[in-house]
Amino acid sequence: MVTFPLHPLERETGFVEIPAQPAPEEVLARERKENAPNPHRLEQQPPGVRASGGSRFGWCRNFGLVVLLPTVLVALFQYCVVADQYESETHFVVRTSGSSGSASSGLGQLLGLEANPAAADNQTVIDYLLSHDAVARLERIVGLARIFRRPEADPFSRLRESAPPEAVLRYYREMVHIDVGPESGITRVAVRAFRPADAERVAQELLRIGEQRVNAFNQRLLENRLAAARESLETAERGVDESQAALTGFRQSGRDIDPERTSAARITMVTQMQAELAQARAQLNSMAGAIRRDSPQYVTMAARVRALEQQVGAAESSLTGSRQATAAGLGQFENLRLKQEFSAKRFETAAAALDAAREQAVRQQLFLVRVVEPNLPGKALYPKRLKLIATVFFALLLVYAIGWLILAGIREHAAS
């Protein structure tokens, strides 16, 4: 039991004074005054003792403004504004009939690319498919600009109406992706469009354009390889014609088809005449010792010897005195015949070289082999909405966390 000391006046009178109770209105006013926030008192309190209700509300508000609201806006934009894009994919590879890993192919030699034939051949086709020429051909064949301006496209993804050729090429390279497998050498072509049929059609035309370009490469390679061989063959053919014409003219001027045989026949005839003359002289000498010189037999034999001497002299003069005509003509004929034989052999060599160059060009011809045909997409693969939204959310969350840590450090430093 607790006792309280009495006031002296209370001890004398015996009465205890009870204080008057305040009115209910005064009690409520006093409670409101005590519960009202006092800025001076809040400043005097440490950060950890401040009211947690306002701090929690501020944290939620900041988190919503910095992280949740932008994420929701991005999600609404992706699902309500951005149009679906369909992708058609095809695979092909460029090969030669005699392709191998150790030797460069025809197109690689033509363009001076010797390191990796498959990569070089594929890269030339890829460069063409991503060039202004390919864009122009697709525009003529399928109406590429109309495909990229479909009504289904959103204003941010659609190709602008007044886009210059450079902008069209940049947009085309964003919608058409081409890459090559480092080991297999297979080229992958992915075409995006706002309609499935458009994506498949553009992919089909790209394959057809690539095949036509490869055929043009083959024709150019064949022409380059055969040009030098054909030029050599034409030169050899002209040499054959010239040598044949010179030999024919020589024969016509001398009225002798084969001067070599004619000269040999003349020499044989002179030799025979000389033999007959020697025999006739021997007979005449033998007759001179047996009969008289005025006898008819001796006179006849002497006349025959003189006739043979005249014939031999005439024949020898044609061979020796006209040796200028016979020997010079024979030498000229031999020279012309050697030139003709040389021209003929040169022509045969040039013809063989042309055939070899043609066979080599055929062996090194390029072929575009379709590995996977373009498909008709059934589902839009782009844009990657969930991936993009998640990326935005976590990026903003990271930014918010870093900012919160920085502000907390500043406040703690200011409080200390």
Q: Are 315 and 222 contained in the same domain?
A: no
Confidence of residue 261 (pLDDT cuts 50, 70, 90): low
Mean pLDDT score of the chain, rounded to an integer? 79
Give Dmax (Cα) for the chain: 230
Q: Domain for residue 274, yes or no? A: yes
Q: Which residue has the tokens 């966390």?
A: 401
Mind spelling out the 3-state secondary structure of 35-78?
Answer: HCCCHHHHHHCCHHHCCHHHHHHHHHHHHHHHHHHHHHHHHHHH
What is the predicted pLDDT for the residue at 182? Answer: 82
Residue bearing the bigger pLDDT, 13 or 222: 222
Residue bearing the bigger pLDDT, 33 or 301: 301
Distances, alpha carbon 374 to alpha carbons 180, 200, 208, in Å: 16, 6, 11
Q: Are 290 and 323 contained in the same domain?
A: yes
Distance of CA 107 to the CA centre of its chain: 9
CATH number at residue 285: 1.10.287
Whether residue 47 is predicted with pLDDT greater than 50 in this model: the reply is no
286 CB burial (10 A radius; 0-12, 13-18, 19+): exposed
Q: Are 295 and 376 contained in the same domain?
A: no
- Cα separation, 296 vs 298, in Å, equals 6
Least confident of 153-157, 250-254, 267-271, 291-295: 250-254
Whether residue 40 is predicted with pLDDT greater than 50 in this model: the reply is no
β-strand partners of 366: 96
Q: pLDDT tens-digit profile of 18-33?
A: 555 555 556 556 655 5
Q: Are 291 and 344 contained in the same domain?
A: yes
Angle at Cα 230 formed by Cα 226 and Cα 232, nearest 5°? 125
Q: Are 164 and 104 contained in the same domain?
A: yes
Q: Domain for residue 76, yes or no? A: no
What is the predicted pLDDT for the residue at 237? Answer: 85
Q: Domain for residue 9, yes or no? A: no
Q: Are 223 and 101 contained in the same domain?
A: yes
Count up the domains in the chain and report the number: 3
Confidence of residue 269 (pLDDT cuts 50, 70, 90): confident
Output Rg (C-alpha) for the chain, integer angstroms: 57
What is the predicted pLDDT for the residue at 302? Answer: 82
Confidence of residue 46 (pLDDT cuts 50, 70, 90): very low
Whether residue 234 is predicted with pLDDT greater than 90 in this model: the reply is no
Q: Are 371 and 397 contained in the same domain?
A: no
Q: Domain for residue 1, yes or no? A: no
Q: Are 278 and 162 contained in the same domain?
A: no
Q: Are 153 and 244 contained in the same domain?
A: no
What is the predicted pLDDT for the residue at 22? Answer: 57
Q: Domain for residue 38, yes or no? A: no
Nearest to 205 by CA among 142, 294, 286: 142
Residue bearing the bigger pLDDT, 289 or 31: 289
Q: pLDDT tens-digit profile of 348-362?
A: 888 888 888 888 877
Q: pLDDT tens-digit profile of 184-221?
A: 889 999 999 999 999 999 999 999 999 999 998 888 88
What is the predicted pLDDT for the residue at 326? Answer: 58
Q: Are 248 and 377 contained in the same domain?
A: no
Over residues 74-79, mean pLDDT: 93
Q: Domain for residue 36, yes or no? A: no
Q: Are 115 and 180 contained in the same domain?
A: yes
What is the predicted pLDDT for the residue at 111? Answer: 47
Q: Tell which phi-psi region holds residue 207, choosing left (phi > 0), alpha (psi between -120 and 50) or beta.
A: alpha
What is the predicted pLDDT for the residue at 175? Answer: 96
Q: What is the domain range of residue 119?
A: 84-229+367-382
Least confident of 40-54, 159-173, 369-383: 40-54
Q: Domain for residue 37, yes or no? A: no
Q: pLDDT tens-digit profile of 88-121?
A: 999 999 887 765 544 444 544 444 444 455 567 7
Q: Which residues of 348-370 are buried (b: 16+ CB within 10 A; e: fewer)?
A: eebeebbeebeeebeebbbebee
What is the predicted pLDDT for the residue at 71? Answer: 94
Q: Are 202 and 252 contained in the same domain?
A: no
What is the predicted pLDDT for the residue at 98? Answer: 61
